[in-house]
Amino acid sequence: MQALPAKAMVIHMKYIQIPNTTLTVSNLILGCMRLSGLNQSEAETLLRTALDEGINHFDHADIYGGGQCESLFAKALGNTPSIREKLVLQSKCSIRKGFYDFSREYICSAVDGILQRLHTEYLDILLLHRPDPLMEPEEVADAFETLHRNGKVRYFGVSNQNPMQMELLQKYCGQKLIVNQLQMSLVHTPIIDGGISVNMKVEQSIDRSGSVYEYSRLKDIVLQAWSPFQKGMFEGSFLGDRQNYSELNRMIHELAEKYQVTDTAVAVAWLTRLPAGIQVILGTTRPQRIKDACAGSELPLTRQEWYRLYLAAGNILP
């Protein structure tokens, strides 16, 4: 159930400073992947709701809606200089039709297109969307340096990369990698499972992430969790799925009633409770879902509650 109790806790948006930058960002991000499915009026309502709730960080990619998501974002928000200075805009590139591309030519041209569609002179953060095995790191480093020198991108990061992929890139890049965007939710936890079950002969002990959680904390890289409510890549939400996640949903709702928030807020709070300063990307197009999620920005789940949810999701503690 998602009904909000009559008397709710007063919870405010939490902000973090991304290390090695001047960026102060909300720990919730509005992901704009589905924005092109809205008309301009609906998009305006969605974006204003996010801003009113304290979200100042917005995530894009050049492939979202074939670029239409970025164009609609600029139209709906009226991206004037007075508004732009309040926003942290990030976008991603590298996914092309049938292949990935880390070439210098593509990265630079992709950024030009992103800036044009967003009606802005610069991106706060550019991420490389999916790893390219054909990457020449010197070529990426050259692209990053050119974009930074020309004032088109302030900071750089990656998406869906493991520590060694980042190490290879960082060896050649003068620009510090500040962000890594990875899939994570209460029911998708590979980045912490292996660490919890080190050296155990169980499925959960398999290291699928290269210890990216610990690496990111060591290197001051902020993790951004995408699909925070999904039970697979895009297989629907685990919230309300009482056929596959009955005990988890029962416990989530129990905590929602305790803290006088919605179930959505509890799912968000499980991620924001991690001490790595994780940002949660909301891919919703529903204003109410944004409001519900924002109540989990700094919801104070106890250590015991956090572990109870982890276990209820089907995980083990050795």
The answer, as to whether pTM is greater than 0.75, is: yes
**Ordered DSSP codes for 49-96:** HHHHTT--EEE--TTGGGGHHHHHHHHHHT--HHHHTT-EEEEEE-EE
Question: Residue 84, Cα to own-chain centre: how many angstroms?
Answer: 20
d(Cα 256, Cα 37) in Å, to the nearest integer?
Answer: 30
Model confidence at 6, pLDDT cuts 50, 70, 90, reads very low
Residue 81 has what pLDDT? 79
pLDDT digits (tens, 9 = 90+) for 91-145: 999 999 999 999 999 999 999 999 999 999 999 999 999 999 999 999 999 999 9
What are the structural domain ranges in the chain?
Answer: 15-312
Q: For 236, left (φ over 0), alpha (ψ -120 to 50), or beta?
A: left
User: Which residue is it, tokens 């990426």?
Assistant: 140
241-297 residue pLDDT tens: 999 999 999 999 999 999 999 999 999 999 999 998 899 999 999 999 999 999 999
Note whether 159 and 124 are within 8 A (CB): no
Q: To which CATH superfamily is domain 15-312 assigned?
A: NADP-dependent oxidoreductase domain (3.20.20.100)
HSE-up of residue 57 (Cα within 13 Å, Cβ side)? 24
Catalytic site residue 64? Answer: yes
Closest by CA to 61, choosing from 31, 84, 38, 37, is: 31
Section 37-58 average pLDDT: 97
Catalytic residue, chosen from 64, 245, 259, 310, is 64
The answer to whether 132 and 103 are in contact (CB under 8 A) is no
